[in-house]
């Protein structure tokens, strides 16, 4: 991750995505808080992001776009309820990031069929890279 501002933007996008179903579940908040800690975002700044609806910046590096897509997918699954609005929005976000729609669909299906809703990192990357051929 290049800059502090990009980290804030990633977290802002995740917060907006978490609120797509109209409420923030405790597990979603906990997940967002873990991501904020991983990105070294201070707790007061993290809480301010819920108040401010800033625009999200574009992620330049494909690897980081894939990581962000996966974070959003984990967030989508963490409350145990898959809303239609979440599925529509994650596809829209992924397409806007320039990710391959077939790879996104495949990753989401792998997650759906996984007992813990997770996909190994090497599998995640291979799904996206095989679409380049």
Residue 72, exposed/middle/buried by CB under 10 A (0-12, 13-18, 19+)?
A: buried
pLDDT digits (tens, 9 = 90+) for 43-57: 999 999 888 766 666
Asked if residue 68 and residue 19 are part of one domain, the reply reads: no
State the Cα–Cα distance between residues 96 and 119, nearest whole angstrom: 22
Structural domain contains residue 57: no
The answer to whether residues 47 and 78 belong to one domain is no
Instruction: Tell me which of 37-51, 54-68, 105-119 is least confident.
Output: 54-68
Q: Which domain holds residue 25?
A: 3-52
User: Does one domain contain both 45 and 78?
Assistant: no
What are 71-82's pLDDT values in tens digits? 999 998 888 778
Question: In the predicted model, is pLDDT for residue 133 greater than 70?
Answer: no
Report yes or no: 89 and 30 within 8 Å, Cβ to Cβ: no
Residues 87 and 123 in one domain: yes
Output the 3-class SS for the chain. Answer: CCCHHHHHHHHHHHHHHHHHHCCCCHHHHHHHHHHHHHCCCCHHHHHHHHHCCCCCCCCCCHHHHHHHHHHHHHHHHHCCCCCHHHHHHHHHHHHHCCCCHHHHHHHHHHHHHCCCCCCCHHHHHHHHHHCCC
Range 101-116 average pLDDT? 93
Tell which of 12, 29, 52 closes a domain: 52
φ and ψ at residue 125, rounded to 5 degrees: -65, -40
pTM: 0.77
């Amino acid at each position: 991750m290049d800059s502090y501002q990009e980290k804030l933007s990633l977290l802002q996008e995740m917060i907006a995505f978490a609120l797509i179903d109209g409420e923030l579940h405790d597990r979603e908040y906990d997940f967002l808080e873990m991501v904020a800690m991983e990105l070294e975002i201070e707790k007061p700044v993290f809480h301010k992001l819920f108040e401010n609806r800033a625009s999200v910046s574009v992620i330049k590096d494909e690897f980081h776009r894939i990581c962000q897509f996966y974070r959003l997918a984990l967030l989508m699954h963490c409350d145990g309820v898959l809303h239609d609005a979440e599925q529509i929005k994650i596809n829209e976000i992924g397409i806007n990031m320039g990710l391959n729609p077939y790879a996104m669909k495949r990753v989401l299906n792998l997650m759906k069929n996984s007992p813990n809703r997770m996909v190994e990192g090497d599998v995640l990357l291979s799904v996206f890279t095989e679409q380049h051929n």
